[in-house]
Structure 1
Amino acid sequence: MQKLLEGLNKFKENDFETHKELFEELREAQNPHTLFIGCSDSRLDPNLITQTLPGELFVVRNIANIVPPYRKSQEYLSTTSAIEYAVKVLKIQHIVVCGHSNCGGCRSLYLPDEILSTIPHTKKWLELAVPVKNKVLADVIEEKGKREWMTEQINILEQMKNLLTYPFIQEKYTEKTLSIYGWYYMIETGEVYIYNKQNGLFELSN
């Protein structure tokens, strides 16, 4: 905790003062251009890897960067409501679904039930990614490393598809007023691979 408190002081003395005018502008409202949907993993920092300033990204993070398919419900829907707010209220122009290497959430899809049963809420959440697991297992991949990155990348594509189940996203996407991107971040190298819809491959960003 002491490290966090020292960080607060350094922020106020250095970063805040450097961007003081920006924070003054942001006092009344935000106008982010991009909705960034990423994993809760502590190793993924959206603003750091994109070098963006406060006010540019509206960030949604959860285990395995999952987008639940659209549905109307009386339940409390955190990710769904954040997406709705970003698109309908903030009117963002871009959505990025960013997965990453060595993703614990994706790896948990293959845990035995006796382990998953000890984390019941996580187990329930990961049910949303079962279609991803089924697609990977259909390829009968024996090599663990290959199965891992395939799961992480296919998961990104599934969440991009789920975004289009939201009527207000589908409408804007069809009108070409909203774009959707899939990113795969390599923790160990700092590289980001961007999904190319034309050839169906994740390609290293330039």
Structure 2
Amino acid sequence: MDKLIKGALQFMQEGFNEHKNLFENLKEEQNPHTLFVGCADSRVLPNLITSTLPGELFVVRNIANIIPPYRIKDEYLASTAAIEYALYALKVQNVVICGHSNCGGCKDINQEKAKLLPNVSKWVSQLDEIKQQVDFTLELNHYEGQHGLRSWMIEKANIINSYNNLLTYPNVRQMVEEKKLSIKAWYFLIQTGEIFEYCEENGHFMPLGEKK
């Protein structure tokens, strides 16, 4: 906690002055150009990996960067509500869905841990079908037991699934077709800092900047 307090004091005394005019302009309202949906993982920092300033990104973070299908229910839908707000209240022009390597949320949870993490287990159960599909593919191609490959495939399939789920939100598909909204699906490789972008045309993730 001491480190956090010292950091906050340093920001107030030094860091804030660097962007004083920017914060002054932001004091009444925000007008972010991009909704960034990412994992809550402490190693994935949206503003750092996109080199953006305060006010540019509206950030939604949860375990495993999951976008559930759009629905209206009498329960607290935190991620859905935040995405809904970004799309229809803030009217962002872009959406980035960013998954990453070695994602704990995409790993299996054993029964013992599930008892300690009931809400986490329920949340990541949305990935069960993805995991089943990946396991079937690995078995079909005789790659059973390739745990690194399995994790890599689940992480990327989860990003694509979130991309498809975003298209279930009201009018999103139409906004994309009319070029009023751009959606990008990224995979961040933590150990190298590389970002790969999903190419819907060929179904592959390609190095960012090389996608045609």
TM-score (norm 2): 0.92
| Pairing partner for 1:123 from 121, 125, 139 | 121
Once the two structures are superposed, what CA deviation does each residue of 1:112-161 show, in whole Å capped at 9, x if it has no partner? Answer: 33432331111110121222112211112421111111110110000000
In structure 1, distance between residues paired with 2:21 and 2:116: 48
Match of 1:182 in 2: 185
Match of 1:155 in 2: 158
The percent identity for this pair of structures is 51
Secondary structure, in 3 states, of the residue corresponding to 2:29? coil
In structure 1, distance between residues paired with 2:74 and 2:109: 31
Match of 2:16 in 1: 16
Once the two structures are superposed, what CA deviation does each residue of 1:13-68 show, in whole Å capped at 9, x if it has no partner? Answer: 22210110000000011010100000000111000010100000000000000011
| Pairing partner for 1:196 from 191, 195, 199 | 199
In structure 2, distance between residues paired with 1:25 and 1:201: 41
Match of 1:56 in 2: 56
Preserved contact between residue 95 and residue 181 of structure 1 (Cα < 8 Å): yes
Which deviates more, 55-64 or 142-151?
142-151
Preserved contact between residue 198 and residue 204 of structure 2 (Cα < 8 Å): yes
Once the two structures are superposed, what CA deviation does each residue of 1:55-86 show, in whole Å capped at 9, x if it has no partner? Answer: 00000000000011111112111001001100
- Structure 2: which 5+ runs fail to align? none
TM-score (norm 1): 0.95
Secondary structure, in 3 states, of the residue corresponding to 1:54? coil
Q: Residue 170 of structure 1: CA displacement? A: 2.4
In structure 1, distance between residues paired with 2:128 and 2:182: 26
In structure 1, distance between residues paired with 2:112 and 2:76: 28
Preserved contact between residue 109 and residue 121 of structure 2 (Cα < 8 Å): no
- Structure 1: which 5+ runs fail to align? none
Letter in 2 for 1:179: S
Which deviates more, 193-202 or 30-39?
193-202
- RMSD (CA atoms): 1.2
Match of 1:137 in 2: 135
Once the two structures are superposed, what CA deviation does each residue of 1:149-195 show, in whole Å capped at 9, x if it has no partner? Answer: 11101100000000011113223123221111110001111111111
Match of 2:28 in 1: 28
